[in-house]
Amino acid sequence: MAKKENLDISALEKIINFDFKNKGLLKEALTHRSYLNENTKWELPNNERFEFLGDAVLELSVTEQLFFEYPDYPEGKLTSIRAALVNYLMMAHVAKEINLGKFILLSRGESQDNGRAKEVILANALEALIGAIYLDQGKEPAFEFIKSFVMPNLEEVMAKKLYKDPKSLLQEIIQEKEKVTPNYEVVSELGPDHNKVFKVAVFAGKNRLAEGAGPSKQEAEVEAARKALQNMGESD
């Protein structure tokens, strides 16, 4: 992650093919809340307001493109496709493609974090970047950015049916292949009641497909289904 002294925003502008008129907008989009805790003299606020704006611009842009791309699809299916395109994992994937993490201003602690927290930071920064583009030059350039960097993932979403939740997709595949319905069993419950972690296994008949963990049985089941799909080559 970037430090103030080596933040080269021109390199990011080249990657995204967008020249900011107001460079301060881009810098603000790259400023994570944690950075301000260690750099109190930094002249800009954190990027959360830009993230709020960018999220709305992103949703409108994707909605508009899906509306015209699939004129025969009902509202419910369009909503599911949109959700798959703009969830935090997909946004983090797009952020990685443009190497956004290299430019985000973070605290030392946050810069060393990995896992879900890092993915969320990347996703939020991408939305903040979209918000900054919108503020700098308006709707059309922001929509063009989304068309160039977010919408190419539509093909994967449709091909892998990522718009279906993992449990529904796994059930569809297992019923078609094996004529049985997947069933879920709680393997263990760890931790106190207020911070419990459930481990769940998913089966097709007697065949154990995968295990998943989560703070609730439902979330553990979803994770187990997701891992089963990965094991079957049905998902990344």
The residues that are catalytic are 55, 127
Helix (H) or strand (E) holding 183: strand 183-190
Contact 169, 159 (CB under 8 A): no
Who contacts 129 (Cβ-Cβ below 8 Å, separation ≥6)? 16, 26, 29, 30, 50, 54, 100
- Helix, strand, or coil (residue 204): strand
Q: Was 124 annotated as part of a binding site?
A: yes
Q: How would you class 194 by CB atoms within 10 Å of its CB: exposed for 0-12, middle for 13-18, buried for 19 or more?
A: exposed
> Which among 198, 226, 222, 224 is positioned nearest to 211, based on CA atoms?
224
Residue indicated by tokens 């946004």? 91
Helix (H) or strand (E) holding 209: strand 207-214
Q: Was 47 annotated as part of a binding site?
A: no
> Which among 132, 130, 172, 125 is positioned nearest to 151, based on CA atoms?
130
Q: Was 37 annotated as part of a binding site?
A: no
Q: How far apart are CA 74 and CA 62, in angstroms?
A: 15
Who contacts 227 (Cβ-Cβ below 8 Å, separation ≥6)? 210, 211, 212
Q: How far apart are CA 209 and CA 203, in angstroms?
A: 5
Residues belonging to the binding site are 51, 124, 127
Residues belonging to the binding site for Mg(2+) are 51, 124, 127
